Structures are given as structure tokens and as C-alpha cells.
Amino acid sequence: MDLIALDEPTDAQIRQWHAVLTAVHAADPAGEPPPEAEHTAARLLGAEQGSRQRLWAAAEDGRMVAVAALRLPGAPGAARPGEIDIQVRPGNRRAGVGRRLLTVAADALRADGRPSVIAQVLAGTPAVPFLEAHGFQCVLTLQGLLLRLAEVPPGRIEELVAAGPAGYELVRWRGVVPDGYAEALARAKHAMADLAEYEGAPWDAGRVREMGELVAKRGDELYTVAAVRDGTIAGFTEVVASAGMPGRAAQYDTAVVPEHRGRRLGIWVKAAMLRWLAVERPDVHEIETDNAGDNVHMLAVNEELGFRRLRESREYQASAADLP
């Protein structure tokens, strides 16, 4: 078994990497659409803005059997955790390959001066005993929900949009936030601060714009609907339609600022988003979202809209010193 660091992956290596992801997905689809080759290539060739990544593969007789990606957000030595993802072909498991990849990634993590690493995995899969055997602890449980738009009863969305609270207006935009709302959106994003434990930097107008630019750079479309009162954003919701996941859009942030809570603004902006997408993106027929397991209000809003539970994912964290 050879371990190879892929600093500049070749086309052949990208194809082999994709074949590993496809084999892992085929063995355990977990309600996810299969990975797309273009998406894999884009990910391997460019780290997200403001982030670096290290890639390794394990090969046997010239065939890739496992891959590992370590994302390092921010500058070297930043307090933010690294993010690790390891995928081993089903036929090559329980032979110590995952452990070897984790060990090289841990060395790179420590060399980068990181205090810890996180991993997002599905509950009930081998990833759970694997991580728990290597110093990781579960820090967050997320319920993965899916809304199939064809299953929403006719008229339901219109009814919810019409039931919006008095004194608020709906505003929407595609892509990067318009200048007039950048500050207001950054303030509203603070309302999510209690959930965004790993986000690090505080939200400001620049960071909000940067997030929109990042989505566009990946070739994805960001849609935002906000409830506005006296020029202030009281609540908002974001959905991203990705070329890498045809037919399925992903819910990004939704938040209602504390002084505007309890007026059904959350369900209102989400219903307005669904009405808009039906016209703007008829190709989107399902929307997926992750909710923190303890966020009972957001779970209730989503279940009222017709989202159904799909899977549970977990975020694990280990301190660099506890890794092999």
C-alpha cells in the first residue's frame, strides 16, 4: 500500500479519486445523489477562498483504494479547526487504511499549528466507531431533512405567504447581497451566532459579500429572501442551487433576529422562497437542509413546511494532540 500526497492532482488522479467516491456512495447512498465528476474535479483543483487543502491517496498496485482531504480554513496557526474527510473503498476496509490516512493528515494538521480537527459523518455508519477509536468526540447532531416540492399540498405555500405578519415586507435577491442590504444582513447573521460555533470571524458586510461571491465562483446560485422592517432585516433565508446536484437545492442559513421572533417570520420567508423557486427554478424539485438536533423551533418550522427526516449526521471533533 502506497500513500501519495497529491499537491497538484493530475487528470488521471482526479478520475481515480472520483471512482473511490462513487464506490463509497454506491455502497451506502444515504439518500444523497451520486457524486458528479465535474464537482469532484472542481473541489480537488481549487480550495475554497480563504482556505487551503491537503490531499492524499492510498494506492494498491496502481489503483486508488482510499482518499483523504484536509481543509485548512484561514492562515496557518489559525484557531479554527481543520476539516478532515476520509473515504475508503468498501472492499478495502478494516485493514488500517483509514488509520494511516488519518495519521498523515494529523501530522499535517499539527505542522499547520491547528488545535483541533472536525469531521462530518452519518450516524449509524462505520465512520462513527472509526472516529471514536481515534480520539474524536461528537459535538453536534444534525437532522438531515428533505422537502419534495411535488408533495406540498396545492395552495399551502400561497396560504403561508399570505399569512405574513403586518408591518414587514418581503425582499429578495439572487447572488451577492445588494449594497443597501449588506450591513443589515450581516447584523441578521449575528442572530445565528449561537449555532455557528466554528465560523470564527464575526459577520460584517464584507464577509457577507464574500460568501455570495464564493458560491458564484463555484458556479452555484444563491437565492435569498428577507423580511424587512424599517430598513432592518428581521429574518432571512438562503437556498443554493448547485450544478453538482441537479434537481436538489440546499438550504443555507435561516435566522430571525431575537426581537422579531414569535411572529412566524421564519416560516414566512421560507414559504416565500419556495414560491419564488417554483417560478425561477422549475428544475429544482427537492430541497435539503440540516438542523441542529436541539433546534426545536427550526425543526418545527421545517416539518410544518413538509420537510421529512432523511438521515442524522454528526459533527465530531478531536484535539490535535489526541490524534494518532
Interface ranges with ligand COA (CB under 6 A): 24, 84-88, 93-99, 119, 121, 125-127, 129-130, 133
Q: How is 244-283 classified by DSSP, letter by letter?
A: TSTTEEEEEEEEE-GGGTTSSHHHHHHHHHHHHHHHH-TT
From the CB of 112, what's the least distance to ligand COA, in Å?
18
Q: Which residues contact 317 (CB under 8 A, 6 or more apart)?
A: 81, 116, 117, 118, 119, 136, 137, 139
Alpha-carbon distance of 141 to 194, in angstroms, equals 15
Give the residue with the Cβ less far from ligand COA, 127 or 177: 127
**Sign, Cα dihedral of 188, 189, 195, 200:** negative
Distance CA 18, CA 159 (A): 44
Task: Write down the least CB distance from residue 86 to ligand COA, Å.
Answer: 4
Q: In angstroms, give the least distance from the CB of 27 to ligand COA.
A: 8
CA nearest neighbour of 97 among 54, 63, 71: 63
Which residue of the chain is nearest ligand COA when measured via CB? 98
Distance CA 237, CA 189 (A): 10
C-alpha cell at 276: 419564488
Q: What is the smallest separation between the CB atom of 57 and ligand COA, expressed in angstroms?
A: 13
Q: Is the CB of 25 or the CB of 187 nearer to ligand COA?
A: 25
Question: Min. distance of Cβ 197 from ligand COA in angstroms?
Answer: 19
Q: Cβ 24 to ligand COA, closest distance in Å?
A: 5
The span from the CA of 28 to the CA of 313, in Å, is 14
Our CB check for ligand COA shows the closer of 54 and 260 to be 54
Smallest gap, in angstroms, from Cβ of residue 23 to ligand COA?
A: 10
CB atoms within 10 A of CB 318: 24
Tell me whether residue 95 or residue 104 sits nearer to ligand COA (CB atom). 95
**Which is nearer to ligand COA, 254 or 313 (by Cβ)?**
313
* Closer of 87 and 237 to ligand COA (Cβ): 87
Least separation, in Å, of the C-beta of 81 and ligand COA? 13
What nine digits make up the cell of 157? 405555500
Residues 6+ apart with CB under 8 A from 95: none
Q: Which of residues 97 and 274 has its CB atom nearest to ligand COA in the complex?
A: 97
Residue with smaller CB distance to ligand COA, 44 or 86:
86
| Shortest Å distance, C-beta 159 to ligand COA | 41
Q: Helix 179-190 and helix 205-217: axis angle, to 10°?
A: 100
Nearer to ligand COA, 125 or 242 (CB): 125
b or e along 196-223 (b: 16 or more beta carbons within 10 Å of the residue's beta carbon)? eeeeeeebebeebbebbebbeebebbbb
